[in-house]
Structure 1
Amino acid sequence: MTTDHPDGFEPASLYLDAAILPKHGSVGAKALRTLATLAAGLMTNDLESGPSVLDLVVTRRESGNEVLRVSAGTVQESDRLLARVRHDLDTKSVADFIAEWRAPDSDSAPVD
């Protein structure tokens, strides 16, 4: 693949994409998370408190297979996390990105 980088560096963003998506789970689990978020928001007067209903998902552009799925936190936190991941995708190779973002004890999807 040809790149615009004179040194031959190919950023991970050529091969990977990142997005914020709803968490996986059954309808019941999603309903419980939503209720817990609403209850926590009412108790603390902070509608962003409670369990996260969002995941940051990194996928392979070519196949759509998930490379990474982690909790994205609140809406504000998820925006910052997505910006950080997209920056890393633009400035790191695929191997470096995966090495940095994949913790050994991560519950994210396996790298294919």
Structure 2
Amino acid sequence: MGIILLSVFVVLLNGVCQIFLKIGAEKSKLTANSNLFVKFLNSYSYILIGYFGFVCITILTTYLLKFFPLKTLTTIMSSNYVITSILAFIILKEKITTNKLLGILLILIGIIVYHL
């Protein structure tokens, strides 16, 4: 049970790290009157947290390979795209367009077909 929760945590952490990188990228955009150093510090912390999370994800995924067959772990990790889209909708207020919805649906169908 603990290993399953860890794999769900890794998927959620991946989505959260993607959100941190998106926020960092948005904050790093410079305007005509912006101070480069202040913008760097404001965006750098989000970007650093995002990439640190990806290092943790890599370590945890390698650990999870001890307990799951590669086919199962690949299936679990493929849901990252769906989770990231949902988190972007909730946290960043991004719109889920018809194309995004179709993409999510195709990913879910692909996960089901691949795991059969």
Q: Same fold (TM over 0.5)?
A: no
Task: Give me the TM-score of the superposition, normalised by structure 2.
Answer: 0.32
Name whichever structure is richer in strand by fraction: 1
